[in-house]
């Protein structure tokens, strides 16, 4: 699938995942690549942008193995934005599905 197209959707995926529970970068990458094929690397620039735009915040938490991990938590601004994106996404994907169905008839 088109790379740029996927990147746009990546933002929505990240917000949905951190809304479910606070997660660290690697965990997010794993959870996303379970479902969609993306370059894990572009997740980090995206997370930095979301942090700068105050849609998520970060905090460090010690882990039993290795160095402390950087966790991401969604903000109320992030939640509102996520809800907007979900509505847009549903409208968009339903529209595309309808078009495909109609064309197949």
Where do contacts with other proteins occur on this chain (CB under 8 A)? 2, 4-9, 11, 25-26, 29, 33, 39-42, 44-45, 47-49, 52, 65-67, 69-70, 88
Distances (CA, A) of 90 to 45, 48, 82, 86, 97: 25, 26, 12, 6, 10
Taking the complex as a whole, how short is the minimal distance between the CB of residue 105 and other proteins, in angstroms? 29
Distance CA 68, CA 102 (A): 52
CB neighbour list of residue 25: distance below 8 Å, 6 or more residues apart: 43, 44, 47, 70, 72
Q: Could you tell me the smallest distance in angstroms from the CB atom of residue 25 to other proteins?
A: 6
| Shortest distance in whole angstroms from residue 98 CB to other proteins | 19
Number of H helices, E strands in the chain: 4, 3
Quick one: 21 or 40, whose CB is closer to other proteins? 40
Closest CA to 22 of 54, 55, 56: 56
Cβ 90 to other proteins shortest distance, Å = 13
């Amino acid at each position: 699938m088109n790379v740029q197209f996927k990147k746009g959707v990546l933002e929505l995926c990240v917000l949905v995942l951190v809304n479910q529970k606070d997660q660290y970068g690697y965990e997010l990458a794993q959870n996303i690549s379970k479902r969609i094929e993306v370059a894990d690397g572009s997740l980090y620039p995206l997370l930095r942008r979301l942090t700068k735009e105050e849609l998520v915040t970060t905090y460090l938490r010690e882990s039993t193995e290795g160095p402390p991990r950087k966790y991401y938590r969604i903000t109320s601004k992030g939640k509102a934005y996520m809800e907007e994106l979900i509505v847009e996404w549903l409208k968009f994907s339903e529209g595309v599905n309808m078009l495909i169905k109609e064309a197949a008839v």
